[in-house]
Structure 1
Amino acid sequence: MFDCLKSLFGKKATGIHAKIEIYTWRTCPYCIAAKMLLFFKGVHFTEYKIDGDEIARKKMAERANGKRTVPQIFINNAHIGGCTDLFALEQKGELNVLLRQ
């Protein structure tokens, strides 16, 4: 999963207009990896830290079609999925397209 990050150093995404939201737990390694990918791409995102906040987790699950695992990622209010889904989009070259919409 982190091999993808090697190619990102020095290659920031440009022309990003998307609204990115990510629900996380502070110590979740998948949350950290997803945030690292976005950070190294130069993407600004809104993070909702839901550690121990069952109300926030319920809201996340409602937005994420019932999924309660973290992270849950949204681009322009569309549910993208979790960390694995985010990295898959990057691997296929589709993440930058979504970020520029």
Structure 2
Amino acid sequence: RNRLKLKAARRNAQAWLAVDNPGEWLWSFVGGEPKINHFKGRSEVPAVTDEAKAMSKALQKAGFTFVGPTICYAFMQATGMVMDHTTDCDRYAALLR
């Protein structure tokens, strides 16, 4: 419904196609392999990290919009670039493997 977000989806798709190797580029922000965090509780899990800030700046420089650091960090969590399951989570041990 938001016209700016609809335009951003098109602009971001064009920017994605302009990047040489987008997957490798995005993974470079975490050193090419998943970053495993060992947080004890949910209150320790950040909303933004330095890596997410760097990704946001690079994406914006490449022509992407609506890619703030919070969105970038959520993307990193959702795609497995960072593992933020807390140590008391029942999935924690399985995901360490």
Tell me the TM-score normalised to structure 2 length. 0.25
- Higher strand proportion (structure 1 or 2): 1
Tell me the TM-score normalised to structure 1 length. 0.25
- Higher helix proportion (structure 1 or 2): 2
